[in-house]
Amino acid sequence: MSGTKSASGAAGAPLPLAEIVTTGTPDPARWELRLYVAGKTPKSTAALDNLQRLCETHLPGQYSIEVVDLLVHPHLAKGDEIVAIPTLIRKLPEPIRRVIGDLSNVERTLVGLQVRRPGP
């Protein structure tokens, strides 16, 4: 975790990770998400905003978000096989899922994260 930057809160000020993780006890239904960005671009900012909004709505109290800036930690791109920016990785629950893009489409993001099964 030391190699990562904490997510910024809704107000835009950097927040420590603990403030986002609202549950203190290990939860089987806990969602561990990691968002890869490269600098503070409009796309990254949009992706993080969209993600936080989505989590608050659909996974309240069950999630943690970790933001990795590849401009600061370029070597981390290889481990999670990151090609595109922004990339959202669902680390937990397993298996790993990835969603690329600014997450502007809530439905597709939910499908990508498998929070919701794709509709008929």
Partner 1 sequence: MATSETHHNTSSTGLPKAPTGIGGLDEITAGGLPRGRPTLVCGSAGCGKTLLAMEFLVRGATEFGEPGVFVAFEETADELTQNVRSLGFDLDDLVKRKQLVLDHVRVERSEIEETGDYDLEALFIRLGLAIDSVGAKRVAIDTLEVLFGGLSNQSILRAELRRLFQWLKDRGVTAVITGERGDGTLTRHGLEEYVSDCVIVLDHRVSEQLSTRRIRILKYRGTTHGTNEYPFLIDEAGISVLPITSVGLQHTASTERISTGVARLDEMLGGRGAYRGSTLLISGTAGTGKTSLAAHFVDAACRRGERCLYVSFEESPSQLDRNMRSIGLQLGSWVDKDLLRFQSTRPSATGLEMHLATLHKLVKEFAPRVVVVDPITAFLNAGDDHGAEALLTRLIDFLKTEGITAVFTSLTRGGEALESSQATVSSLIDTWLLVRDLETTGQRIRGLYVLKSRGMAHSNQVREFVLTERGVDLRDVADTPRPRVARKAKGSRR
Rounded to the nearest whole angstrom, what is the least distance from the CB of residue 23 to partner 1 in the complex? 25
Q: Compute the C-alpha angle 106/110/116, nearest 5°.
A: 130
From candidates 33, 36, 52, 55, binder to partner 1 by CB under 8 A: 36
Using CA atoms, how far apart are residues 80 and 96, in angstroms rounded to an integer?
A: 10
Using CA atoms, how far apart are residues 105 and 3, in angstroms rounded to an integer?
A: 29
The nearer residue to partner 1, 23 or 105, going by C-beta atoms, is 105
Residues 93-112 that bind partner 1 (CB under 8 A): 96-105, 108-109, 111-112
Using CA atoms, how far apart are residues 107 and 95, in angstroms rounded to an integer?
A: 20
Contact residues: partner 1, CB under 8 A: 36, 38, 43, 46-47, 50, 70-71, 74-75, 77-78, 81-87, 96-105, 108-109, 111-113
